[in-house]
Each structure stands twice: as C-alpha cells, then as structure tokens.
Chains A and B, each alone.
Chain A
Amino acid sequence: MKVVLKELTKIFPGRTKKAPEVIAVNKFDFEIPDGKLVGLLGPSGCGKSTTLYMICGLQKPSSGKIFFGEDDVTDLSPENRGVGLVFQNYALYPHMTVKQNILFPLQNFKGADRLTKAEMLERAYNVAKLVQIDDLMDRKPSELSGGQQQRVAIARALVKMPRVLLLDEPLSNLDARLRLQTREEIKRIQRETGITTVFVTHDQEEAMSISDIIVVMKLGVVQQIDKPQNVYDDPVNLFVAKFLGTPPINVFEGNVTEGKLYIGEDCVLDVDGVEDQEVFIGIRPEGFIYDESGPFHCSLRNVEVMGRDVSIVSTNESSLNPIIRSIVDADNKIDVSAEKVSFSLKPHKVFIFNKETEERIRFGKDPEQAPKTESKEE
C-alpha cells in the first residue's frame, strides 16, 4: 500500500516563552510507492524520527495530511493505522519472553479480529521463522545478542501484518559486522513480505545499500528524493553531495571564468554555458585521473595502497577539506617521492555549486550533468 505525505509539518513550541519554536519537519511532500523500501537519510536532529512518528501516529502533525492508500489517516490513533514500528533501542518488554513479546500485539486484537490461542501461536511462529529466531522463543530479551533482539523487534512489528513497517535507526546499536549482516536481512524480509517500509538512518552507506528510494533531509526540509545511485551521481546541492559517499567528496573553492572552471590558478575543466561566478566545486574521489600532464596540481602527502585501488592523499590551498583523497586504479605507477601530483578530472564526477545558495549548477552536454526532467519511479 502506498503512503502519501502531503505538506507534512511538525512544529515543536519552544520550551520557554522566549525560546524559538523548532520546525522539526517542514512541508514534507512525498508518495511512498507500494511495497518499496524507502530510506530516510539525514544528520541527527533533521527530523527523521519525527516524520516516522507522525506516520505511525505517535505524534500529531502541526499541519499537512497522511494517506495510507486512499484513506486519510491523519487523525487516526496509532492502533487504528495498522503500522509496525521498530524502535532504535528495540523497546522489547524485558519481563516477557521472546514468545510473549511477539504475541503481545496479537493479544490486543478485539472483536471480530480476535484470534484463537492456536492461531496466535501459529502466526508468532511463522514470523519468528521469517526472522530466524524460532529457536529462541523462550528466552528473555536480556539473554539475547543485539542482533537477535533486533530480529525480535522486527518480528513483533510484523506479526500483526501491518500495512506499513517503520524502522527508526534499527541498526545503530549493532556492531559494524552485525550491521552489514542485519541490513541484508531486513532487505530480504522486506522483499519477502512486500510491506511498504520506511527505514530511518543517519548512515548514508546503510541507506544507499538498503533502499529502493532515498529521501535526504536537512533541518526538517527534504533535499532530494531519488534512487540511491541517482542521488550519489546527481546531487541537487552541496549538502547532499557532501552527505553521501565514502570516502567523502572533495570540496574546493574556485570560480568560473569564460566557460572555464578554475581551482586556484589551475584551469581544470571546460564548463560550457555557466556564467562567470565564484563557485564551490565537489569532486568525487573516483573523479580524479592520475595524469602527469593533467591540469590540476596538488601537493602529494602520501599514497595508500588498498589492493585493487590506490588512494592518493594530497593537499591544495583551495580545498575546504584538510586533505584531498583521490582513488585511482592500482595499475598507475605513482612516484611516491614526488612533491607534486597532477590530475585530470572526469567531468561527470565533478559538481559545481553556487557559492551563496549552494545549489547545483549544471554544465555541458554530459547526460549525467544534463538537467533532469522528473525522475519518476516506474
């Protein structure tokens, strides 16, 4: 079932009379397609949890509407929306066994929906199998590992067959290895159940790997909504460009003069059709080509060999990051003792941004760089 958010806004009043109010979510407009996994991505405090809580009904929007399918659920209380919610720290009831935890939502069903004991158990065991915890049913949450607790939390959210599944930073309490493994699991479970899912995270890598669609937020405002690869390849502004990618994008100050892009004295790229102005320039680490006769000169710091690739660490006066990290093929023979290193650039890995608005300025005929018309989903 699709979920539609219409100008969804949440304003928290200031704590005191004088304190300013906080606009946690500002006019969020989005249609989550049926059966998709949407990643809500942004730094801490940007309003991700608030958005999620409004979708599930724990918080009332200040304005705007929420639709599940064709139903307006804006004024429905959480229990009438049919949502499953997984909390950041799981919120498993510590005094109940895994089985009791999973059964708990089913026992709340009333009237015609009421299940028999046998039906409840069957559903609990089915969902436990799905998340692979059916052999842990008689344990208490305290006797489980973080990853197992996480699965129990998902099972508890899924057992009532929700129309929408909401996950609030579900992996942030797991160690790195388990995080990788569990996000694959979540992806698998989502595919198998086909439940429309919203997944909140501040970890861009996580969002990129798991989501069908990514929503990037900043200070309550949606920045960009697109498929993960598109958001990476075609960021709409400097914030999005900086937020996605590991290692992060390299940002420089520079200017455009007569259709040429300058970083310091170096004329690094042709940018046809861009007016003369001061700009920020973002270059992805993989956008550099090691080229002794290349136009972009930097001071070589050191070279890190990573097997398949080589990471060249250098500095440049115009760089806004303390170091520039460029990743090039290991076949390049790099003179490690040299003081200077020169690059040429891949135009589709170079983004330029207006210095005031930090909005993207598009240039050239490269398809990646051409302004996009509506990137509609299927």
Chain B
Amino acid sequence: MVDGKKQWKAWLYLLPVIILTLVFTVWPIINTVRIAFLDDYTLMDDVGGMEFSVGVHNFEKVVNNPEFLTCLKNTLLLTVITVPISTFLALLIAVCLNSIKALNRLLQTIYFLPYVTNTIAIGIVFSTMFSMVGTGFGGENPYISTAGIINNIIGIFGIEPVNWVNTGSTYWANMFVMIVYIVWNALPFKILILLGGLQSVNKQYYDAAKVDGTGRVRTFFRITVPMLSPMLAYVVITGFIGGFKEYSSVVGVFTEDMGPPDKQGALNTMVGFINHNLMSGSPREGIASAGAILLFIIIFAVTMLNMYVSKKRVHY
C-alpha cells in the first residue's frame, strides 16, 4: 500500500489531469443538464443574473422541431445501415487478410490508412469522386466537361451518370454516398480489432475441427465467429456509438450546409443539430443542451440493448 506521504504526492501528480477533467468534462456535463432543464435559458441572461424557471420547455421545443426529426431520422438510418455492413465487410476482409501469407504486412497497412487520414480530407475526396461537374447537364445544351471518377467508371459499363451530391441530387443518392463513405471510413478500425481477434484464436481449435472433418463454412460459423464474438460485440457497440455521433463525415462531403446546395440541412445529424443550435437556435444553449441529453439517452439505451443481446450471444 501507498503510505500517507506518498499518497499526498500521488494526488499532486494527478492534480493537473483532475483539474482539466473537472473543468472541461465534468462541469460541462453538469452544466448541460442544468441548462437543458431551465426554461428558455440564454447565456446572456444567465450572465446577467436572471433567474429561470425549471421545466422541460427546451425538450418540447426540440421534439416539436421538424429539423430535429430530420436529424434523428438521418442519424438512425446511417447508423442502422452502416454498422451491419461495415461489420460484415470488416469480418470478411479480416478473415481474408488472416489467411494470406504473402504481402500480409503491406495489405494490413493499406487497409489501415483511412484510419490515420483526416475525416474532412477524405470527405472532400469523396465529394469530388462522386461529383458531377459541368454546366447545363440535362439542359438544352447537354455537355459534361468533367465528371467525378465514379460517374466515369459507371459510364464504362454504359450506366447513365448519376447526380450524387450536386444541386438537384436526390436524398437517397446523397445517402448512398454517405453510406459508402462511412462504411469505408469505419472499416480500418474494425478490421484491426477483428484481425487481432483472429490471430489470437488458438490454432489447435482449427486442427481439432480439421481432424473431425469440419467443413469450411461450418468451421467459420461454429468456431471462428463464436471465438471472435467478444471482438464483434465490441466493434458493433462502438460502431453504434460512433454512428450516433456522425457529423464530420457529412461536413466532409457536403460542407457545413449538411446537404446539397439546394437542400441545406437535408442530411443533418443529431450532433449537427446540436452544433447548429448552439450557433443560431433560439433559445440557443437551451435547445442544444436538450438535444445533447436526448442524444445521450438514445446512445445509452442502444448500448444497453447491445450489451443485453451480447450477454446472450458472446462467449468470453
């Protein structure tokens, strides 16, 4: 045990971290809850010493706000669609990577690159890849000067160019780009975790299965997947949490407009909603805080649900 004198020193060393955590994490959380439950709170009046009545006025405003419902819908859709896809793809790729010997290191590095690349930068690249530059496309004078690489590629197969992200693009075209982008961006982390899991599975289980004449598919589903289940659960749970916090990916592709130029905010997310209201809502901080708390409740509930499911399905 640490004796009294040493304990005193230990606290001293921890002090900077404790202070920073208190100021920048603990207090903001407490203050968010406080603000959310103060009716029509504004920072100016708070500083001015005004008293607010306690209530759920902010929450009423949030849930009655059509913009909030759009954000909720977008966030839910993106999460529910991308998490299963990216988890499945990551599992597939991890298994492939694990089974090839040649170029193993190089491929792992390549798959890991998106993880260390800036989200906004990737987003800009994506929006360029999917863009459809060229004036007058579809008008009386249809000519395309340059289109993004995606439209060029699908053009090779004789498919008409699609307006993915530019003015006049449809909601699902936008969503498609976002899904591809988010899945691609989520892969490296998931692959890394699952590959680590695969490499830690004792080879003897596979030898035992082989001696018993177990087919490849059965080996995968009855041995590999159960052995990976803790990692799969981890990847899914963090995937859901990440999905509900989706924001910078939309900014990366669509800029702060959160949608194509003619439909601003069409792809806004929960975090986007909170951000925008902090800048321009009314009452600004009140609504943003209430939104943040709703987001927290959703993430908390979904995580609980995930944990409950994984308790039954995960073999530690």
Chain A 51-77 interface mask (CB, 8 Å, partner B; 1/0): 000001110000000000000000001
A108 touches B208 (CB 8 A): no
Closest to A113 in B: B213
- Interface contact A91-B223, CB-CB below 8 Å: no
Q: Which residue of A lies closest to B208 (CB)?
A: A91
Q: Which residues of A contact B205 (CB under 8 A)?
A: 91, 93
When chains A and B are docked, how far (Å) is the Cα of A17 from the Cα of B205?
31
| Contact B207–A58 (Cβ < 8 Å) | yes
A85 within 8 Å of B by Cβ?
Answer: yes
B213 touches A105 (CB 8 A): yes
Residue pair A58, B218 in contact (C-beta under 8 Å): no
Contact mask B131-152 → A, CB, 8 Å, 1/0? Answer: 0000000000000000000000
Q: A84-B211, A104-B222 are in contact. List 19 more A-B contacts (CB 8 A).
A: A56-B211, A77-B210, A79-B212, A79-B214, A80-B213, A85-B208, A87-B207, A91-B202, A91-B207, A91-B208, A93-B223, A95-B227, A95-B229, A104-B209, A104-B214, A108-B213, A108-B214, A108-B218, A156-B212
Interface pairs (18), CB distance under 8 Å: A57-B211, A58-B207, A78-B210, A79-B211, A84-B211, A85-B207, A87-B204, A87-B207, A89-B204, A91-B205, A93-B205, A93-B223, A95-B226, A105-B212, A105-B213, A108-B213, A156-B212, A160-B212
CB distance from A365 to the nearest CB of B (A): 51
Is A87 within 8 A of B208, CB to CB? yes
Q: Interface 1/0s, chain A 88-110, versus B by CB < 8 A?
A: 01010111000000001101110
Task: Flag whether B215 is at the interface (Cβ < 8 A).
Answer: yes
Most chain A beta-carbon neighbours within 10 Å: one of B204, B215, B315: B204
Contact partners of B210 in chain A: CB under 8 A:
58, 77-79
User: Could you say which residues of chain A place their CB within 8 Å of the CB of B208?
Assistant: 85, 87, 91, 93
A78 touches B213 (CB 8 A): yes
Chain B residues with Cβ below 8 Å from A217 are: none
Residues of B within 8 A of A (CB): 202, 204-205, 207-215, 218, 222-223, 226-227, 229, 315
- For A, the interface residue count at a CB cutoff of 8 angstroms equals 23
With A94-B315, A95-B226, A95-B227 known as contacts, the answer to whether A104 contacts B212 (CB < 8 A) is yes
Interface presence of A83 (CB below 8 A):
yes
Measured between beta carbons, the chain B residues less than 8 angstroms from A104 are 209, 212, 214, 222
Output the least CB separation between B115 and chain A (Å): 30
Question: Which B residues are in CB contact (< 8 Å) with A58?
Answer: 207, 210-211
CA distance A13 to B276 in the complex (A): 64
Residues of B within 8 A of A91 (CB): 202, 204-205, 207-208
Q: Which residues of A does B touch, CB under 8 Å?
A: 56-58, 77-80, 83-85, 87, 89, 91, 93-95, 104-105, 107-109, 156, 160
Residues of B within 8 A of A156 (CB): 212
* B213 pairs with A79, CB closer than 8 A: yes
Contact A85 B214 (CB under 8 A): no
A108 contact set on B, CB distance < 8 A: 212-215, 218
Cα(A37)–Cα(B75), bound, Å: 66
Question: A95 with B315: in contact, given A58-B207, A89-B204 (CB under 8 Å)?
Answer: yes
Residue of A nearest to B314 (CB): A95
Q: Closest CB of chain B to A13's CB: distance in Å?
A: 14
Residues of B within 8 A of A56 (CB): 211
CB distance from A107 to the nearest CB of B (A): 8
Q: List residues of chain B with CB within 8 A of the CB of A94.
A: 315
Closest to A57 in B: B211
Closest to B205 in A: A91
Residues on B with beta carbons closer than 8 Å to the beta carbon of A57: 211
Best-surrounded residue of B215, B222, B227 (most CB of chain A within 10 A): B222
- Chain A residues with CB under 8 Å of B207's CB are 58, 85, 87, 91
Which of chain B's residues has its CB closest to A166's CB? Answer: B211
CB contacts (< 8 Å) of A87 on chain B: these are 204, 207-208
A77 to B211, CA, bound (A): 8
- Report the minimal beta-carbon distance from A334 to chain B, rounded to whole angstroms: 52
In the complex, chain A residues whose CB is within 8 Å of the CB of B215: 108
- The smallest beta-carbon distance between A235 and chain B, in angstroms, is 34
For A83, what are the chain B residues with a Cβ–Cβ distance below 8 Å?
211
- In the bound assembly, the distance between CA atoms of A34 and B250 in angstroms comes to 72
Q: How far is the CA of A160 from the CA of B211 in the complex (A)?
A: 11
Note all chain B residues with C-beta closer than 8 A to A109.
Answer: 213
Alpha-carbon distance between A58 and B209 when the two chains are bound, in angstroms: 11
Residues of chain B lying within 8 A (CB to CB) of residue A84: 211
Quote the shortest CB–CB distance from A195 to chain B (angstroms): 15
List of 8 A-B pairs having minimum Cβ-Cβ separation, nearest first: A79-B213, A95-B315, A105-B212, A91-B204, A95-B226, A91-B208, A108-B213, A78-B211
Q: How far is the CA of A104 from the CA of B208 in the complex (A)?
A: 10
CA A91 to CA B208, docked complex, whole Å = 7
State the CA gap A206–B315 with chains docked (Å): 36
Tell me how far the C-beta of A154 lies from the nearest C-beta in chain B, rounded to whole angstroms: 13
The reply to whether A85 and B211 form a contact with Cβ atoms under 8 Å apart is yes
A79 neighbours in B (Cβ, 8 Å): 210-214
- With both beta carbons as reference points, the residue of chain B lying nearest to A88 in the complex is identified as B204
Shortest Cβ gap from A159 to chain B (Å): 9
* Nearest-CB residue, chain A, relative to B218: A108
Cα(A160)–Cα(B315), bound, Å: 26
**Bound: A91/B229 CA distance, A:** 18
Tell me the bound Cα distance from A87 to B209 in angstroms: 12
Docked CA distance A53–B129 (Å): 53
Tell me which residues across on chain A come within 8 A of B202, comparing CB atoms: 91
